[in-house]
C-alpha cells in the first residue's frame, strides 16, 4: 500500500505516514531526510542483509535511518509501521542550538531501539494527523524538535534499552517445546533452556510471540494432535498421551477452544473425505 504523507507538515520539516508492507524485501533508498520507523505489528521475523543475521521486530521497536543512508530487510510476514521523515535542516538546527555553533553532525543507522519518548511522540503526531491536523504546523514542529533532541542523545539511549530475550533464546525455547510435547513442561525447565529467570522468560516470551508461554505450549500440543489425528490411525487416548495431555477429555477441551473442532469431529471429517 502506498503511504500518504501529510503535505501540510512539509513546512515544519516533519511528515508522517502509516505503511502496510507485504512480506518480502523492504528497501529504503538513500534520501535527503532522516527516517524514524516505529514497528506497529506483532512480532515480525526479518533478515538483515547488511548485518547478516535475523532480527525479531516487536511492536514499538524503532529503526532510525539517517539522511544519505540506505536501509531495509527481508520480512517473513506482512507488517505495519509508522514512518516519520525529519528534515536534515531541522535536526542540524536543533543540534546547533544545543551544542553551540553550526556544524555537520554525523548519525549512524540504529536498529531495534526501545524508547518510550520517541514512540510517544510518533504516536502523538499520527493521532493529530488522523484527526485532521488540528494542531497545525506549530504542533508538528514542536514534535519534530522534541524528536530531534531525543535523537541527538541516541548514544545514551542504548543503555536505556531493556534486556529482552535474544532471538537465539527464543529459538531454543521453541525448539525444545516442539521436541518435548509429550512430556511435562515446566517454567523452571524452559527457563534453564533459555538461560533466563522465570519472570524474565514469561514477560519477554509474551512480548515476542503475542501469547503467554502456557498458551503457546497448549496451542502447539493441539496442532500436533490435529496432525496425528489426520495423518495416523492412532486412538484419541494415544494421541492425547503423545501430545502431553493427561486425558483425552483435556485434549478434546483444548482442541475445541483452539480450533472449534473435537478429535471425534475431526476424525469423522477425515473418514468422510
- What pLDDT score does 52 carry? 65
Average pLDDT over residues 75-100: 86
User: Which of 76, 67, 77, 55 is CA-nearest to residue 28?
Assistant: 67
Assess whether pLDDT exceeds 50 at residue 4.
no
Assess whether pLDDT exceeds 50 at residue 13.
yes
Q: Is the CB of residue 75 less than 8 Å from the CB of residue 26? A: yes
Q: Where are the beta strands (DSSP E) in 106-221?
A: 110-113
Sheet with 24-28, edge to edge strand ranges = 24-28, 71-75, 44-48, 53-57
Q: Which among 92-106, 153-167, 183-197 has the top mean pLDDT?
A: 183-197
Q: How confident is the model at residue 51 (pLDDT cuts 50, 70, 90)?
A: low
User: Per mean pLDDT, which range of 93-97, 220-224, 241-245 is the poorest?
Assistant: 93-97
This prediction's pTM: 0.55
Half-sphere exposure (Cβ direction) of 182: Cα atoms closer than 13 Å: 7
Assess whether pLDDT exceeds 50 at residue 50.
yes
Hey, what domains does the chain have and what are their CATH numbers? 7-160 (2.60.120.280), 167-272 (1.10.10.60)
Q: Is the CB of residue 98 less than 8 Å from the CB of residue 152? A: yes
SS3 label, residue 152: coil
Q: What are phi and psi of 40, to 5 degrees?
A: -120, 25
What share of residues in the chain are helix, strand, coil (percent, to 5)?
Answer: 50, 20, 30
Assess whether pLDDT exceeds 50 at residue 2.
no
- CB neighbourhood size of 212 (10 A): 12
In tens, the pLDDT along 116-132 reads 889 999 999 999 888 88
Assess whether pLDDT exceeds 60 at residue 55.
yes
| 272 Cβ contact partners less than 8 Å away, ≥ 6 residues apart | none
Cell 504542533 belongs to 139
- What pLDDT score does 14 carry? 92
- What pLDDT score does 103 carry? 54
Q: Is the CB of residue 206 less than 8 Å from the CB of residue 213? A: yes
Helix (H) or strand (E) holding 45: strand 44-48
In angstroms, how far apart are the furthest CA atoms of the chain?
A: 79
Average pLDDT over residues 56-62: 87
| 163 Cβ contact partners less than 8 Å away, ≥ 6 residues apart | none
Q: How confident is the model at residue 196 (pLDDT cuts 50, 70, 90)?
A: confident
CB pairs under 8 A, 24+ apart, for 47-51? 47/73, 47/74, 47/76, 48/73, 48/74, 48/111, 49/73, 49/74, 51/111
* Percent of the chain topping pLDDT 70: 88
Amino acid at each position: 500500500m502506498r503511504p500518504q504523507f501529510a503535505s501540510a507538515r512539509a513546512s515544519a520539516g516533519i511528515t508522517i505516514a502509516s505503511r502496510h508492507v507485504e512480506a518480502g524485501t523492504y528497501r529504503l533508498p538513500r534520501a535527503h531526510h532522516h527516517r524514524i520507523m516505529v514497528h506497529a505489528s506483532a512480532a515480525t521475523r526479518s533478515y538483515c542483509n547488511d548485518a547478516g543475521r535475523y532480527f525479531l521486530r516487536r511492536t514499538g521497536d524503532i529503526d532510525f535511518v539517517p539522511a544519505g543512508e540506505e536501509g531495509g530487510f527481508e520480512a517473513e510476514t506482512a507488517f505495519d509501521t509508522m514512518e516519520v521523515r525529519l528534515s536534515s535542516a531541522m535536526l542540524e538546527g536543533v543540534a546547533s542550538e544545543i551544542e553551540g555553533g553550526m556544524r555537520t553532525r554525523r548519525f549512524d543507522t540504529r536498529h531495534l531501539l526501545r524508547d518510550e519518548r520517541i514512540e510517544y511522540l510518533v504516536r502523538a503526531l499520527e493521532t493529530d494527523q488522523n484527526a485532521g491536523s488540528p494542531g497545525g504546523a506549530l504542533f508538528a514542529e514542536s514534535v519534530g524538535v522534541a524528536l530531534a533532541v531525543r535523537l541527538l542523545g541516541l548514544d545514551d539511549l542504548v543503555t536505556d534499552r531493556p534486556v529482552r530475550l535474544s532471538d537465539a533464546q527464543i529459538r531454543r525455547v521453541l525448539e525444545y517445546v516442539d521436541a518435548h510435547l509429550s512430556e511435562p513442561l515446566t517454567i523452571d525447565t524452559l527457563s534453564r533452556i533459555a538461560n533466563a529467570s522465570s519472570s524474565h522468560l514469561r514477560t519477554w516470551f509474551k512480548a515476542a510471540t503475542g501469547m503467554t508461554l502456557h498458551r503457546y505450549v497448549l496451542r502447539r500440543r493441539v496442532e500436533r494432535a490435529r496432525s496425528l489425528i489426520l495423518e495416523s490411525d492412532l486412538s484419541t487416548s494415544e494421541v492425547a498421551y503423545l501430545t502431553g495431555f493427561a486425558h483425552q477429555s483435556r485434549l478434546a477441551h483444548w482442541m475445541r477452544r483452539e480450533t472449534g473442532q473435537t478429535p471425534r469431529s475431526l476424525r469423522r471429517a477425515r473418514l468422510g473425505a
